[in-house]
Amino acid sequence: FKPFSAIVALDARQCERRMQLSDALAALTKTYMATEVEAMQLVWQHIRRERLQCAEAPEEVRVDEALWRMICAAQSDGDAPLFLPRPHQHARVVYVHQVAQAVLKNMTPAASVFKVRCLVHGTERANESWFDVRCDIIRNENEHEHDSGSGSGSVDNVDSRALDAAQKSGDTARVQPRQKGGSSAELDALVTAESAHIEALRALARHKQRRDFMLAFASDARGMCARLAASQ
C-alpha cells in the first residue's frame, strides 16, 4: 500500500496528508521496480488528473519545476502527452490505467469514463478515440467468448494481436470506434466494457511477463479503494 499512500497524499482534497514528491517516487520505484522516469510519469499523471478534477482549487496541486523538466527531458517532445500507446509501453499504460480505476471507483460511470479518457493520454481529444477503439476490440472478444460459453473470466485467452495492432499503428486516434444506436446504449456499453478492458490489459501484462507486477499492483489498488471509501 505504500506507493498508493504516497499518491493519495498528493490528492488536493487531502492536502494535510500530502507527502513530498520525492517520497512518492521512492516508494513507487522501490515497490514496483519501475524506473525513475516511469515513477515520475505516474505521479505526474495523478497530478494532472487532480488538476482536471479539482478545478475549484488548482493552486493546491503544485508540481516541482525540476521534476517537470526531468519529465520533459525523458520524452522526445516536451509537449507530447505521456503514456502514448506505443508497442514498448504496454506496461506503462497498464499501471496508469490501474491508478485511474482505483481513484475513480466511487465516481459515477459517466464521470469515470471521462476521467479515464483524460488520464491515460493527458488530453481528452487524443485519448477518446483510442479508448473507444480499445473497448470496442475487447467488447467484440468478450461477445465471442460469451457465445462460446467460455465466460468473461477467461482473460488469458484474450487475443493480444488486436491490441498490438492498434498500438503499433502509431496513430490509433484515427481509427473510428463502432457506432451504437443511441447515446444511452453507447454509454452503457462503454461502461460495461471498461472492466473487460482492465482484465484484457492484465492479460496483456501477463503476456509480456509482468504477471507478478500486475497482481501486486491490483492488490494495492483494491486496498487504496477501501481506504478512500472509509475516509469519505
Quick: pLDDT tens for 162-214. 444 444 444 333 333 333 333 455 555 555 555 555 555 555 555 544 444 44
Q: Which residue has 499503428 as its cell numbers?
A: 169
Where are the chain's structural domains?
1-78, 81-232
pLDDT of res. 145: 37
pLDDT score recorded for residue 217: 52
pTM over cut 0.95: no
Q: What percent of the chain has pLDDT over 70?
A: 0
pLDDT tens digits for range 30-40: 554 445 455 55
**Cβ atoms 130, 121 nearer than 8 A:** yes
CB 159 within 8 A of CB 141: yes
Q: How far apart are CA 108 and CA 123, in angstroms?
A: 20
